[in-house]
A and B are shown apart, each in its own frame.
Chain A
Amino acid sequence: SQKIEQNSEALNIQEGKTATLTCNYTNYSPAYLQWYRQDPGRGPVFLLLIRENEKEKRKERLKVTFDTTLKQSLFHITASQPADSATYLCALLSGYSTLTFGKGTMLLVSP
């Protein structure tokens, strides 16, 4: 069956360090993969999209990699700040135009 797996445990890091979140998937061949941020009580907010033929994408302090052989995406936040604390969701295109989400990983950045 199709699965999207993200670290279920919260990731705690210190301000200024790089946070790395993992998204693994099975039985998908996604044309692209997206990352979203979700704050408590709010809806998800789009951050980045990476296509299957792209290895890496950057946006300001964010970097996403996509390895279709390993079936894995890594999401990095460099020089992390307490304001980066949130839940980060990985999402894959499945079907015609439907996004399927992972459970998300909570990131806590301590000052």
Chain B
Amino acid sequence: EAGVTQFPSHSVIEKGQTVTLRCDPISGHDNLYWYRRVMGKEIKFLLHFVKESKQDESGMPNNRFLAERTGGTYSTLKVQPAELEDSGVYFCASRPGQGGTGELFFGEGSRLTVL
């Protein structure tokens, strides 16, 4: 069974440009999460989808960040326009909709560098 996949693994852009990160969760997982780790800090929650609906987006830093999950399958996280402080590693995680232990299955992350 394929795990959570994220693309790109690394993106280098200039301040003011736009970047779109993609996450493909494990097939059948209704819950999809985005997290971010800025250097030296803890992994921080950004938002949570249940199927195609945003369950909780309290962690989104500002309106330059837009997350979508059309059709309840893969998700995209767009940063527009990117700022220097957006640099970090963006992790996607998924878990089944019901039951299970609550464990999250993480992707390998997308490293974003804003110059």
Looking at A65-73, A75-83, A90-98, the stretch in contact with chain B turns out to be A90-98
Number of chain B residues close to chain A: CB under 8 A: 25
- Tell me if B115 counts as interface (CB < 8 A to partner A): no
In the bound complex, residues from chain A placing their C-beta under 8 Å from that of B48 are 96-98
Residue from B4, B35, B104 in contact with A46 in the complex, judged by beta carbons closer than 8 Å: B104
- Tell me if B105 counts as interface (CB < 8 A to partner A): yes
B58 to chain A, nearest CB (A): 8
Q: Are A49 and B55 in contact (CB under 8 A)?
A: no
A96 to chain B, nearest CB (A): 6
CA distance A43 to B93 in the complex (A): 9
Chain B residue, CB-CB nearest to A100: B45
A7 to chain B, nearest CB (A): 13
Q: Are A101 and B56 in contact (CB under 8 A)?
A: no
- Tell me if A89 counts as interface (CB < 8 A to partner B): yes
Looking at B64-72, B78-86, B106-114, the stretch in contact with chain A turns out to be B106-114
CA distance A38 to B44 in the complex (A): 15
In the bound complex, residues from chain A placing their C-beta under 8 Å from that of B31 are 97
CA distance A104 to B37 in the complex (A): 12
Chain B residue, CB-CB nearest to A89: B43
- Tell me if B91 counts as interface (CB < 8 A to partner A): yes
CA distance A100 to B58 in the complex (A): 13
Chain B residue, CB-CB nearest to A31: B102
Among B44, B59, B103, which residue has the most Cβ atoms of chain A within 10 A?
B103
CA distance A41 to B55 in the complex (A): 29
In the bound complex, residues from chain B placing their C-beta under 8 Å from that of A32 are 102
B9 to chain A, nearest CB (A): 9
Q: Are B105 and A96 in contact (CB under 8 A)?
A: no
Q: Are A101 and B42 in contact (CB under 8 A)?
A: yes
Question: Which 8 pairs, one residue from A and one from B, show the smallest C-beta to C-beta distance?
Answer: A43-B106, A46-B103, A101-B43, A103-B42, A43-B108, A44-B106, A101-B42, A49-B101
11 contacting pairs across A/B (C-beta < 8 A): A34-B103, A42-B108, A43-B91, A49-B101, A95-B56, A97-B48, A97-B56, A98-B33, A99-B45, A101-B35, A101-B44
